[in-house]
Structure 1
Amino acid sequence: MTPSTSDPQQNTPPHTDDNPVLSTQDWALLREHPLFSGLPTQALHELLAQCPVIFLSKGKILLSPGTANHHLYLLLTGHLLVYLDAVDSPTSFHIEPGEFIGEMSIIEERETSAYVVARQNSRLVAIHEDLFWSKVGCYPEAMRSMLKMFSERMRKQNEVTRRVSEQQLKYELLQRELAAAGNIQANILPQEFPLFPDHPQVDVFALMEPARQVGGDFYDAFALDDDHVYVAVGDVSGKGLPAAMFMVRAITLLRLMLSKKKRFATVLPKMNEMLCENNKDFTFLTLLVVMLNVKTGLLHIVNGGHNAPLLASKKRPFSPLPVPKGALLGVSDTVVYDVAEYQLRPGDTLFLYTDGITECENEQQQFFSVERMQAVLNTAVPPLTPASLIPQLRQAVQEFAQGVPQSDDITMLALTYLGKENPDLT
């Protein structure tokens, strides 16, 4: 609701009703109202004869902080909202028919401290402070009723403030947890480039941008020994903190399996078994794992339901590399994963990615697509190094999105095999 403002005059309430006559229902409400306890019927009639009925259309502001108010407003029909800080803030409470507002400013003789906005079309009786104190304030029973209603209002306001404060504390705690998880995620992913400074036969660059503070996408890379390096790209289902925690678990298990120098063919099956254990949330993972012999160029790939990588050579553009699809990890502990072998030549570049790139949408709800990704990579501006290709593709995705917020994590990794120590492959 976007309220429109009004500027009440110091002694005149805003929006005087074109038909100020009180209805039968209005009189029934006012005669029985605790605020007028003890007033004779004739005195009540004389009082209300001097009080205009005002009309507020939906969204109109009755009172604003810092403005003078000299009326007590009693709601006849409709619904008002009182905002303690800003309009449409969560710190608000309701005013229902029969309740009043404005009493604090006429008691304290100070400017108003809150916004009062019509949630729907509303009618109110405006009682000027001079009339109120002279005609109503002289009746102790009426004043006791006013104090009781004021006390109830303060309890309601305190409850709203307490609830909002609790929500704010929970939000701040969640933000701290997300920041901590983001730091963990940033620290667990390799960040120093080149990723393999002791293996000049390969050039690797990677990027991961979460859609939120933390994400479920990841890449990983480390040297297994003098002859072998490993890289991987994965995508955990879901987003935020749960996905990030599952991602940390997956990377830890993968590194554990590889560091034990187990046969490459057994790495994913064993890792999958462990991810299936106690997976009560049914979180799953797609994963592409690559092991490269940097001296021979022999490439081993195992795929757990991930997108096929792209491969380019000095003579051939980027195109999908046919790899066994495999099953998602974390779903079934009886899955078998096939390992594919390929021979890389010096100058070959392998590109791994997650679907946050290809499924990026623009304002027309079009996907970036594998075809656009290939086109960008195949028309990239030299030098065609991993550290140059990835920023060019990221910029193309941003331009395609046309400002549409990123809805999924984006991860990409490029590996160029240089093969400097194996001239027989050139």
Structure 2
Amino acid sequence: MAVTAFDRRLEAIAERVQAVVGPAARSIRASAATLAADSSTAAFADEIGEIDNAAALLVEMVAGCRPELDDDGSIETACSRLRHDLRTPLVALKGYGELVQEIAAEEGLEAVSAALGPLLEGVAEVMVAIERALPALSRAMAAEEAEDDGPDLVTYPAGRVLVADDSKANRDVLVRYLSREGHQVVAVADGLAAVEAVFGQAFDLVLLDMIMPGMNGDEVLKAIKADSRLRSLPVIMISALDGLDSIVRCIEAGAEDYLPKPFNRVLLRARIGACLEKKRLREVELSYLQALEKELTIAREVQRSILPKVFPPHSSLAGHGLMDPAREVGGDFYDFFALDGDRIGIAVGDVSGKGVPAAVYMAMVRTQLRATALFGLSPAECLGRLNDHLSADNPEGMFVSLFYGIMDCATGVFTYANGGHNWPVVLRAEGGVEWVAGTNDLLVGVMGGSDYHDAALALAPGDSLFVYTDGVVEAIDPAEAEFGKTGLVAVLEGLAHLAPAALCDGVLAAVRAFEGGQPHSDDLTCVAVRFLGPVRN
């Protein structure tokens, strides 16, 4: 078989690795053998044994190295894969070496710390030699690996961590290091085991190797992020590969961060700590949102409990009220109540603000309006007294737009006053839609001593009055066009023949259809009454 240009390039790369990396690798092997024979390291026999095995593997890999072409036939990909393979024993050498050195320093075993010095220096030399033999494809990774490896005095939160790596040495080093940092660690050797663990147990963080048998790290990452219960679980990808495309792909798929091998322990500690802190803050935020949602639920219940369930029974008048609350609770309300004789009070209001404060203020307005109305005052007098009372002690600066009127069922005359509210609409029995006219006075609760004015409207048998809040006319469609007064009139013209309940249902259904399925940002509230004729009970 003819030797191709690719073959010649691969052979040249292998020869360069053997020439440049080989001497440093053999030096590490000698240092490992010296450590094994040193009596001062006897207490760390297991760790020294792993160091010796990793050093032997490194020498063997360098001596027999040959870059293998991947599916894309790229020399760069082949070099990246070879770099990954050569770094695998280096992870064990660096990890076990630093771990033993740290324990020895804590226990005052200076001879052990000194004996490990040549080994760790040799690891650094091999890393440099590998980059000389196989030029780095990622400056970003090289910069990360060169970050300060000095002491890190920042305190980070501890958590429950899943480590998924097919290298036993990598798993062992990570488990032992993270355990010393106070973390609870579970380690698995392949992607399928990682998926089984993460779906069966609770973790605060996942350290996920990119290349594993059976199921790669990016496939595990996709499985995690595809599940709504696990979507917020932070995942740090770890690999000796340095292709930016794979790193970017993982970050775009939802990985929190990326760490190169061999691990810079300060960087590892900092990134794990940062991820756990971000997770803690997300949980605090979720708790706050849940509390807010509970508050909104309370506000909705307050709002719902205030609204009357049935219209006061009278043979001359039929009525109905309806409210479709927004997700963000507003302060809309409607009310109708029997007064003396044949008179019925009808009110529709919209309190400023949102949430519990608006719901509570709404309840107060409704209660005080009813109490004032029972004194037999006119609508304007009721709004005046209510305004003075609300504005006298109002540190939050809240107010309400309020339309209030009294229907005389014996005559069909509707007397009303308007405190900054939308004007109602009259639907005539003989056909036609008219806007109610009058003086639109100041919002209620803004300024004490404000004047309010009565006006009167005569309803003939079969005429209907439709009162609403601004959420109806200010509804927005997907193109951000407003429903508006024109839209309301057009809908009312087609529904004028309907009874009050069906009329309210029809208007709000038309508004929701106009919104195109979008959640409305304000409550949709309306009241419809129909005068049936001057017949007394």
Shift of 1:412: 0.8
* Corresponding residue number in structure 2 for 1:404: 518
* Corresponding residue number in structure 2 for 1:376: 491
* Corresponding residue number in structure 2 for 1:191: 309
Shift of 1:374: 1.2
Shift of 1:217: 1.1
Which amino acid in 2 is paired with 1:305? G
Q: Distance in 2 between matches of 1:65 and 1:377?
A: 62
Of 276, 281, 286, the residue aligned with 1:163 is: 281
Q: Which has the higher helix share?
A: 2
Inter-CA distance 244–35: structure 2 relative to 1 (3 Å threshold):
farther
Deviations 1:366-401 (A, max 9, x none): 11121221121112275x211121111122212222
Instruction: Tell me the secondary structure at the aligned position of residue 268 of structure 1.
Output: helix
Q: Which runs of 5 or more residues in structure 2 are unaligned?
A: 1-67, 84-90, 102-116, 141-160, 175-203, 207-223, 241-248
Of 296, 299, 320, the residue aligned with 1:178 is: 296
Of 250, 261, 267, the residue aligned with 1:126 is: 261
CA contact (8 A) 1:300 1:340 kept: yes
TM-score, with normalisation over the residues of structure 2? 0.56
Inter-CA distance 83–368: structure 2 relative to 1 (3 Å threshold):
farther
CA contact (8 A) 2:303 2:331 kept: no
Shift of 1:160: 3.9
* Corresponding residue number in structure 1 for 2:529: 415
Q: Distance in 1 between matches of 2:402 and 2:357?
A: 17
Q: Distance in 2 between matches of 1:388 and 1:333?
A: 39
What does residue range 209-358 of structure 1 map to in structure 2 within 5 Å? 209-212=324-327, 214-358=329-473
Instruction: Tell me the secondary structure at the aligned position of residue 117 of structure 1.
Output: helix
- Matched residue pairs, number? 353
Which structure has the larger Rg over C-alpha atoms?
Answer: 2
Q: Distance in 1 between matches of 2:126 and 2:425?
A: 87
Q: Distance in 1 between matches of 2:76 and 2:368?
A: 73
CA contact (8 A) 2:380 2:416 kept: no
Q: Which has the higher strand share?
A: 1
CA contact (8 A) 1:362 1:402 kept: yes
Q: Which runs of 5 or more residues in structure 1 are unaligned?
A: 1-11, 23-29, 58-63, 75-81, 104-114, 133-144
Shift of 1:315: 1.6
CA contact (8 A) 1:323 1:340 kept: yes
Inter-CA distance 363–43: structure 2 relative to 1 (3 Å threshold):
closer
TM-score, with normalisation over the residues of structure 1? 0.69
Q: Distance in 2 between matches of 1:311 and 1:173?
A: 43
Instruction: Tell me the secondary structure at the aligned position of residue 374 of structure 1.
Output: helix
Shift of 1:41: 2.9
Deviations 1:122-168 (A, max 9, x none): 986434xxxx9xxxxxxxxxxxx95x877766655554444333333
Identity within the alignment, %: 30
Deviations 1:283-309 (A, max 9, x none): 221110011111122211000011111
CA contact (8 A) 2:315 2:536 kept: no
* Corresponding residue number in structure 2 for 1:112: none
CA contact (8 A) 1:205 1:387 kept: yes
Superposed CA RMSD: 4.3
Instruction: Tell me the secondary structure at the aligned position of residue 441 of structure 2.
Output: coil
Shift of 1:282: 2.1
Q: Distance in 2 between matches of 1:263 and 1:380?
A: 31
